[in-house]
Structure 1
Amino acid sequence: MLRIIILLVFVFLIDWYSYQAFSTIFPEQNWIKIGFWIFSISVYVFVAYGFLTFSRSSPTPNFGRVISLLVLSLIPKLIILAFLFGEDLVRFLSGTYQSLTGNREGDFLADRRKFISQTALVLSAIPFLGILHGVLIGKYRYRVVNHTLEFDDLPEEFDGFTITQISDIHSGSFDNKKKLEYGVELINEQGSDVILFTGDLVNNQATEMEPWIDTFKKLRAPMGIYSILGNHDYGDYVSWPSKEAKAANMLRLYEIQKELGFTLLRNENIKLERGSASIDLIGIENWGKGFGQYGDLKKATANLSDQSFKILMSHDPSHFDEQVKNFSQFIHLTLSGHTHGMQFGIEIPGFIKWSPASLRYPKWAGLYEELGRQLHVNRGFGFLAFPGRVGIWPEITVLELKRK
């Protein structure tokens, strides 16, 4: 109960300070001030209704609209809060100092300065527009990221071998078939030897993928399309009427993988052959620190030679630090996803790369190397919960393997 009270007080302060900014800039325009409260209250009513009617047994993409409206409303107000609370702190300290030194002039607290309120509103418009762009455009703003990776012991026949990695499709969130088809065409345009999908085909239920089967069936790669399961694929985050219903959902998910033309690897491996040489492709079920740990790396590699070149598909990048990098068999390259880069961040190549995801995952996007082993974390093809992407765009990764 105390937490709810603290949350309500905090939300009230956010709105009160935002109202102060508007009332300072528009002191005579009552319709603007009244409109502010009508908008804020309407948002909270809509959000409260969304949370109260949310059902774990039947989640709906409409809940994403609730999240987007909440984010769109609160983030700009937090900018205003920071500026105006800072101004109040300065006003309070200044008034206190003047009172203690006997140099007080006028009221204890100086009037709120219009300039501060104007600056706060202008700066708050930046995240507002950014979030709006992320919801309307950013979530389908596919980008192709290319990397060339060099290995001493890559078989000569695989010199120049190309992989297109996609991850975190989250089909239950899609709402625009035309833009989705463009993304699939962009994957095919890369012309890679193989396509590897590193998990989270759905948000919760296999049926979410059914409207998009014909779209993703168009994916093509000469040496095949291989996939693994992500933490959302198991249906662990929804309520099922029975164990049998959950098991049936998994069976349907396996069937859909086949319908898509994906070869699903579940704690197993296959050989990719080129000429007289081969490399081992390993796929394990989800294993994540703090998430479901269904993966069994020992089982997946039990029949492999220590000397073979190995590529591992493992959905959660925390698996790399927890098991892979110190595993008894040397795994050259691990491909992961899962983080989505939190679908929010700032990336300017050569200058800055930051996302809230970095607070939870030290390895959250891009390439990493440790103990001679390489890891690539894909930023995700789809989106989840928040129906948008701000600064962290949906990613199609093309990896070219080269022999040193």
Structure 2
Amino acid sequence: MADSYGQNCNRCGFCLSVCPTYLAQGTEDASPRARIQLIDFFSDHRVGSSEKLKEIISKCLMCGNCASICPSGINHPERYVRMREKMIRDHGDMPGIKSLVYLLAKESRIRMAAGAAKIARKIVPQVFAEKYRLGSIALKQFPVLNKVPFRAAARDAMTHKPGHKSKAASGLKYGRVAYFTGCATNYLFDDTGFSVLNILRHMGVEVIIPETQTCCGTPMLFHGGREKVKSNVNNNLACLDAQGIDAVIVDCPTCGAALKNDYPALAKEFGLDQDAANRVAGKVVDISSFIMAHESPENFPQNDEMIRVTYHQPCHQRNHMPTPGSAQALLNALKGVEYTQALDMSSCCGGGGTFFYEYPEVSRGIAKKKVANAKATGADFWVTDCPVCRINLGGYLDESAGLTVVHPACVAARFLPDLKGRTRQFN
């Protein structure tokens, strides 16, 4: 009988048809069934710990496609995470990854690192920025850090513009929400953050941005930092389980999946407040789903523009969130949007958190196919919910591509009556 992790792989091969690394490499050791079998062999002491075993287990995008199609119900991501912890404990990890896990364990460290990176970006010569790469993406292609962390900028803006009364709070199921911004919106993509805020205010929703929120912990879990993530989970539960909060809005599907699916189990494992974890999990909703549930497209009137968009569906949105098609529904509902679906809309982009940095050749091969198919749509904007997908896809676009990668909220905010395309300003 299978244990709680589902050690009952039938080696049927269904997972091969949906695994990005297997499809890119075509070798059995890149397949989910091979990883599961090796984990079983390791557990039964039929294979020992080795650098090669660590590489096979780690060369995975953690997309969850295999688990979603598995007829045996194997929880592949959970088993991979547990095995990665053992392999990292035995063989260590790349210095850059170890540094990332260290930084994400405390918000003060993230803030310090972001500040240092901002200074470095200013003083690094352009020729260096063109030649130096993180993984296979040129440094110049990475997004510029926010001038001010989004949560601080939003707090100042909200302080100077108090007293926004809901136009329809009595008619909304969710009248008071907490916005979990995640690390990327806070430090890299404030256009997403201000778009979300502007939309929620337009809808008449009272927004609270908890000041003590920090990294959701997913990158740490993926890289053997389970013992470090307890503090993050505890802090986030404490600030999100506020009395009177009707919903927890997320703009990142990875953060959403962590809060909704992982936190209840982690709270139990760490001996944290299980009731709080369950309450928070039950309130998590992504911004596109929230808009579609509580706003009419007529309230996003068409400005004097028609924009052409295509969409990339993040793996965590598709496999781990309850309404995976919400962004597409939103794009189709907006009157000023001409939406064309790319051939591989739902295929993984190859970003995979830090995968693009650890395995650049595999990642680049996957991403370049995505870029070619997105260009073929003739779109002006390439829309995606995931900040890592945004970084990865944007990293392979040059000016000649004619494509800008943005969050769905940024597209919707362009059609608010009082913004006229301006999404970085809080109104």
| TM-score (ref. length: structure 2) | 0.31
- Give the number of the structure whose alpha-carbon radius of gyration is greater: 1
User: Which structure carries more helix by proportion?
Assistant: 2
**TM-score where L is the length of structure 1:** 0.32
